[in-house]
Structure 1
Amino acid sequence: MARIGALFFALVGLLLVTVNGAAVPEAGSLPIPIGTIINLIGLGLVTKINAFITLESLEDNLISINFDVKNPLPIELTIDRVVSSAGINGTVFATFDHTFATPVVVPILGTKNSGTIDNVLLTQGATASLDIIPLGVLDLISTDVFIRAGTIFGKLGVPIPITGLKQKAVPTNYTLLLS
Structure 2
Amino acid sequence: MLARFSNLLLAFGLISINVLCLATPTDLTTESSDLAGLSIGDIINALGIGLVENIEVTITLDSLVTDLISTQFTAKNPLPLELSLESVSSKATFNGTTFSEFSHTFTKPVIIPILGEKESGKIDNVLLTQGATASLDIIPRLDLEQTNLVVRAGSILGFGGIRIPINGLKQKSVPTAYQLDMGLTNVS
Please confirm whether the aligned pair reaches a TM-score higher than 0.5, indicating the same fold: yes
Count of residues in correspondence between the two structures: 153
**For residues 27 and 109 of structure 1, what CA distance do their matches in structure 2 show?**
24
> Are the equivalent residues in 2 in contact too, given 1:27–1:160 (CA < 8 A)?
no
Q: Secondary structure at the match of 2:159?
A: coil
Q: What letter corresponds to residue 121 of structure 1 in structure 2?
A: L
Q: Secondary structure at the match of 1:48?
A: strand
Q: Which has the larger radius of gyration?
A: 1
Root mean square deviation of aligned Cα = 1.1
**For residues 109 and 51 of structure 1, what CA distance do their matches in structure 2 show?**
25
1:157 to 154, 161, 177: 161
Deviation at 1:115, TM superposition (A): 0.3
Q: What letter corresponds to residue 45 of structure 1 in structure 2?
A: L
Match of 1:26 in 2: 29
- After superposition, what is the alpha-carbon deviation per residue over 1:124-151, rounded to whole angstroms, capped at 9, x for unaligned? 1112112212xx1110010000001000
The answer for unaligned runs of 5 or more in structure 2 is: 1-27, 184-188
Following superposition, which runs of at least 4 residues in structure 1 exceed 3 angstroms of deviation?
A: none
> Are the equivalent residues in 1 in contact too, given 2:29–2:165 (CA < 8 A)?
no
Scaled by the length of structure 1, what TM-score is found? 0.83
Deviation at 1:178, TM superposition (A): 1.2
Match of 1:9 in 2: none
Q: What letter corresponds to residue 60 of structure 2 in structure 1?
A: T
Scaled by the length of structure 2, what TM-score is found? 0.79
2:118 to 112, 120, 124: 112
**For residues 26 and 122 of structure 1, what CA distance do their matches in structure 2 show?**
32
2:180 to 152, 155, 176: 176
Match of 2:144 in 1: 140
* Alpha-carbon spacing, 1:28–1:69, altered in 2? closer, same or farther (3 Å): farther
Q: Secondary structure at the match of 2:79?
A: coil
* Alpha-carbon spacing, 1:172–1:68, altered in 2? closer, same or farther (3 Å): same
* Alpha-carbon spacing, 1:28–1:55, altered in 2? closer, same or farther (3 Å): farther
Q: Secondary structure at the match of 1:27?
A: coil
Q: What letter corresponds to residue 142 of structure 2 in structure 1?
A: L
